[in-house]
Structure 1
Amino acid sequence: MIPRTHNLTPFPDGISGQELLGQMLSHARRYGAVVEAGTVENVEQQGGVFRVVANRRIALARNVIFATGVFNHRPSMAADDHAKGLARGLLRYCPVCDAYEVRDKRIAVLGRGKHGLQEASFLRHYSPFVTLISPDGSSVTARNGIRILQPALMGIALSETEVLLTLQDGHTHHFDTLYVALGTTPRADPAIRLGLDLDDAGHIAIDSKHKTSVDGVYAIGDVIDGLDQIAVAMGQGAIAATAIHNDLTASIS
């Protein structure tokens, strides 16, 4: 969902999320990966082999990597407006990925409690103009030069270049971008049905090699606990893939 990020090596001129995905898919296919679109309905283990059921088809595998990510909790707005806001860089979700893109801009953060304040504090290093707005009007103590708008959010509107936030007191405030800090939910339903252990926040539990509680199953990316960042997830994929390679080699020998 990133319109452009300069926080990924080796793209010093920046790269969009869609362009990055396209290059990664092309790279994988060139070296033999088969990529299929579909919805996984179930993953089950039978006799040391995993059956992955998707779109009425069954794929068999000796290993499975869960890279199912998270659901970002979205603000209340039309899907078309949300998509346009993302494409224009008016709506953002990951300051670790793209805060550089909004340095010295007027930044609004939609969030509540400790999580909202932490995200606003992170962004304060990139701009002196950071405002925290709670979706329900809950109180937050201002700090780190962060502006707090207390009334609850009533509506979000987008122009070509601005985000307009109207609060319940009737006032409308203008910003260059809005970071949504409403939290996430791990996409762990298939993992739960397979019997994988989860942590207290619902992430898939892993060891140092990204092995889960079920032999032959690994997990990487945002569905595990850690820093939700592209480069981090890529490194986790390398660790899990190497562990699987070594396990398969050991079983053959």
Structure 2
Amino acid sequence: MARIRFRCDPAPKRLVSLLHKARGLIGLTMKTRLCVIGSGPAGHTAAIYAARAELKPILFEGWMANDVGPGGQYTTAPPIENFPGFPDGILGRELIDRCRNQALRFGTQIFTETVTKVDFSASPFKVFTDLRTVIADAVVVATGALVKRLSFPGSGDGPKGFWKRGMSACAVCDGAAPIFRNKPLAVIGGGDSAMEEAIYLTKYGSKVYIIHRRDTFKASKIMQNRALSSPNIEVLWNSVVVEAYGEGERGVLGGLKVENVVSGEVSDLKVSGLFIAIGREPATKFLGGQLELDSDGYVVTKPGSTHTSVQGVFAAGEVQDKKYRQGITAAGTGCMAALDAEHYLQEIGSQEGKSD
């Protein structure tokens, strides 16, 4: 008899919870030497290295955590062309699936559940989801960061939106795509990230507009000077995007309606790409303030390592990296976190028999 597979969405979450409860799964307690929280390149890389070291890790990949499916933002990314080993590019979803399968192959237990809270007050640590509690000798936090997005007609990722079809939040990731080459492009923002994005895009676009709602930038002076001195960058001061529209029947971004907040005048700006650079929000709320965070909410790690303010808890990927923010650097810190955790477990004498 063929097995029928149903694809779940966030709506029946309570039904799933009830089914688990009926099966006696809610309240289940498990023990492990290492628990990994997060399922992007950092989390899966940490799990792969930990599993190969026979730490038998447990990984929580999330269940629509922060409205993003298991695998994080990579699952919605366009073809990725700068990840080594894929000369023809690879879809983000496929890359994450490959990482997941590799982690499973070496013995990682993966649960499609969202971590709701943690207890790092004493070792062993406790990690909680709606269904179970995991007691772990060490924890790797790899929950990433969320792109701050703006809401206006055409900004969504549905059939009437242009997200990932001309709109992006990462110039380094997407700026070299053919649809942006030798075309006019726009960046929204006024901080250092916006200046960096605009300067980077001048290598590909015919012209780059910086759209900023105020008449001054908050970026550092050196970054402002670099952007303002570029002959290919033009600033639209006191301006906001009120609508994005398409180009013919191609289904890609064709232009923007831009409003001057002082005069109220709305003008038409023909661009083939819009990059939103208004910041990111690290996914750290579930930590409940138990780890040291910087002023922007990113986990603070000790220089040259993934050690956090709590001994035995490590952080990898964009949850602790607001500078590079690339899949390949996230994977690198995932490797570092697994190695740091393995050394820590050896130091405290954690034995294999402690895992369930």
TM-score (norm 1): 0.89
1:33 to 108, 118, 123: 108
Distance 1:3 1:179 in 2: 14
2:182 to 99, 104, 114: 104
Preserved contact between residue 2 and residue 86 of structure 1 (Cα < 8 Å): no
Q: Corresponding residue for 2:295?
A: 200
Deviation at 1:67, TM superposition (A): 0.9
Q: Corresponding residue for 1:177?
A: 273
2:195 to 117, 127, 140: 117
Q: Corresponding residue for 1:131?
A: 209
1:164 to 244, 248, 255: 255
Q: Which amino acid aligns with 2:181?
A: R
Deviation at 1:99, TM superposition (A): 1.9
Distance 1:24 1:128 in 2: 37
Deviates more, 1:198-207 or 1:78-87: 78-87
Unaligned runs of 5+ in 1: none
Distance 2:253 2:182 in 1: 15
Distance verdict in 2 for CA 1:113–1:43, change over 3 Å: closer
Deviation at 1:137, TM superposition (A): 4.3
Give the % identical residues.
29
1:86 to 138, 160, 163: 163
Deviation at 1:192, TM superposition (A): 4.0
Distance verdict in 2 for CA 1:111–1:46, change over 3 Å: closer
Q: Per the alignment, in what secondary structure is the counterpart of residue 120 of structure 2?
A: strand
Q: Corresponding residue for 1:237?
A: 334
Preserved contact between residue 119 and residue 125 of structure 2 (Cα < 8 Å): yes
Distance verdict in 2 for CA 1:33–1:85, change over 3 Å: farther
Deviation at 1:95, TM superposition (A): 1.6
Preserved contact between residue 81 and residue 158 of structure 1 (Cα < 8 Å): no
| Deviation readout 1:65-108 (Å, 9 max, x if unpaired) | 111111211011369833552343x1111122222213323211
Alignment of 1:8-27 (within 5 A): 8-27=83-102
Q: Which amino acid aligns with 2:140?
A: I
Deviation at 1:244, TM superposition (A): 1.1
TM-score (norm 2): 0.65
Preserved contact between residue 93 and residue 180 of structure 1 (Cα < 8 Å): yes
Distance 1:79 1:105 in 2: 19
Q: Corresponding residue for 2:28?
A: none
1:95 to 158, 171, 177: 171
Preserved contact between residue 156 and residue 163 of structure 1 (Cα < 8 Å): no
Q: How many equivalent pairs are there?
A: 250
Q: Corresponding residue for 1:143?
A: 229
Preserved contact between residue 3 and residue 86 of structure 1 (Cα < 8 Å): no
Quick check: 1:57 aligned with 2:132?
A: yes
Preserved contact between residue 138 and residue 345 of structure 2 (Cα < 8 Å): no
Q: Corresponding residue for 1:42?
A: 117
**RMSD of aligned C-alpha atoms?**
2.3
Preserved contact between residue 70 and residue 187 of structure 1 (Cα < 8 Å): yes
Distance 1:47 1:183 in 2: 34
Q: Per the alignment, in what secondary structure is the counterpart of residue 299 of structure 2?
A: coil
